[in-house]
Amino acid sequence: MEVASSSKSDEMKPTVWILAGQPVLDEVIAPIYWGLEEEGIPAELREVSGGSAESLARQAAGSSPLNVGIGIDGAGQTVALHHRDLSVGKPLLSLAADELRPMLLRQLGRNAARLVKGDPLVLQNEDAARTEVQHSTKPSHNEADELQALIVRIVTELLQKE
């Protein structure tokens, strides 16, 4: 996995920015990268000292030439996807600690790329959910329920906005 260095010279490369608080956990970062890579959108990772996932995501979106950023908080507890035009504190998608599994992380990466491309987001994918259930190391997880919970949360957030 290529992790770009944070030199000033490549700041204007068209990439999705990922800002991650230390320590950066590979099992969280890698699936996000794969989601972006499968969709063909480059990303670059910058490590920072701290901050909430939402504020890091907003910051990343503000700096990304593609206007899309992902934030991962220092403890590796939460992940958020943000767009530069969205208000602070209102990320497009976010994942809580108990949602940080490969399938959902990859989906978040995929959605970051799709946000750049203007393609419909993948919010429900039963095939992928089934695949994840079959190969999950923790078979007790019910992906479908969690997906539903995620969607309920997104909808609730949106409703609160209005």
Partner 1 sequence: MAYIAGVDIGNNSTEVAIAQLGQSGEVRFLSSALVRTVGIKGTVQNAMGIIDALDLGLEPLSIERHDLDIVLLNEATPVIGDVAMETITETVITESAMIGHNPSTPGGQGLGIGTSVTLDDLERVSTDQPWIVIIPEEMDFREAASRLNRATSAGLDIVGAIVQKDDAVLINNRLHSPVPIVDEVAHIERVPMGMVAAIEVAGPGKTIEKLSNPYDIATVFGLDPEETRRVVPIARALMGTRSAVVIKTPQGDIQERRIPAGKITLIGQERKTEVQVQDGAEAIMHQLDQVYPLVEIEAEPGTNVGGMFEHVRKVMANLTDQPVSSVRVQDVLAVDTLKPQMVLGALAGEYTLGNAVGLAAMVETHKLPMQRLARKLEEEIIVRTIVGGIEAEMAIYGALTTPGIQPPLAILDLGGGSTDASLIDEAGVIHSVHLAGAGDMVTLLIDTELGLEDRELAENIKRFPLAKAETLFHQRHEDGSVQFFHEPFDPRLFGRVVVLAENGSIPLDTRESLAKIVAVRQGAKRKVFVRNAIRALERVAPANNIRLISFVALVGGSALDFEIPQMISDALIEYGVVTGRANVRSTEGPRNAVATGLVLAHVEKQKE
Binding site for partner 1 (CB under 8 A): 34, 37-40, 83, 85-86, 90, 92-93, 114-115, 117-121, 123, 127-128, 131, 134-135, 154-155, 158, 161-162
Q: Which of 29, 101, 40 is nearest to 70 (CA)?
A: 29
β-strands 16-21, 68-72 pairing: parallel
Q: Which of 42, 31, 44 is nearest to 106 (CA)?
A: 31
CB of 8 to partner 1, least distance (A): 27
CB of 75 to partner 1, least distance (A): 26
Would you say 18 or 81 has its CB closer to partner 1?
81
Helix (H, G, I), strand (E, B) or coil at 37: helix
Would you say 50 or 89 has its CB closer to partner 1?
89
Q: Which residue has the tokens 């989906």?
A: 107
| DSSP H or E run through 151 | helix 143-161
Would you say 24 or 128 has its CB closer to partner 1?
128
CB of 112 to partner 1, least distance (A): 12
Would you say 47 or 84 has its CB closer to partner 1?
84
CB of 34 to partner 1, least distance (A): 6
Measured between alpha carbons, how far is 100 from 103 in angstroms, rounded to an integer? Answer: 8
Residue 17: φ, ψ to 5°: -90, 140
